[in-house]
Amino acid sequence: MKSLDRYLRDARIAHARTWIPKGSAVLDVGCGDGQLFRALEGDISRGVGIEPTLEGKVTLAGCDLLPGNFPDSVPVGGDTFDVVTMLAVLEHITPDGQAKLASACDAVLNPGGRVVITVPSPRVDDILHVLLALRLIDGISAHEHYGFKPALTTSIFPAPTYRLLKRQRFQLGLNNLFVFEKAGTPAATPA
């Protein structure tokens, strides 16, 4: 991973982590190498990451990273979570898969739990192609973007099952943060 890739990843994590209450059980969809869990070490009760590029299970402090795709690879047994994160993931999921996300998250989220998402603006694809050509980024899975428009995110997680807590653009408007809360008793909101 190149320095610019790392910087972009870390900026997404910084924006997302303020919406992950201390002591939460976290499911990170598209967890990569588990960097979100490293950043949250000591702040969460446990974590499970799902990543299609992993060849086998990886264990970090209090967290398991599992190979596969969401929701098929979530461990069976009634495990539920306080937060589901998808950082730079939604734009890689096909439209058919996107249509199933809300119910998949609903199945694993506790009442009042959160879905924390970052998704790039559409113009990022053009920038990524230039950065790839200049070899400034590795462009992890940039070829899998499906022309996703951030405005569609709220329709994927509709009311009354989900309530939008936060929508924010960052990185000069090139990235978007969405935080949804599942119906039920609300979690603590960050100060």
Q: How many CB atoms lie within 10 A of CB 42?
A: 7
What is the C-alpha separation between 5 and 121, in angstroms, rounded?
A: 16
The answer to whether residue 176 sits within a structural domain is: yes
Number of domains in the chain: 1
What's the mean pLDDT in 149-176?
Answer: 90
**Residue 178, domain extent:** 3-182
- Separation of alpha carbons 133 and 14, rounded Å: 27
Q: Examine residue 138 and state whether it is found in any structural domain, yes or no.
A: yes
Q: Is residue 191 part of a domain?
A: no
Q: Is residue 189 in a domain?
A: no
pLDDT higher at 147 or 82: 82
Is 60 within a domain?
yes
pTM score of the predicted model = 0.86
| CATH number, residue 13 | 3.40.50.150
Pick from 49-58, 119-128, 148-157, 174-183: least confident: 119-128
87 in any annotated domain: yes
Average pLDDT, stretch 78-106? 90
22-76 residue pLDDT tens: 999 999 999 999 999 999 999 999 999 999 999 999 999 889 999 999 988 887 6
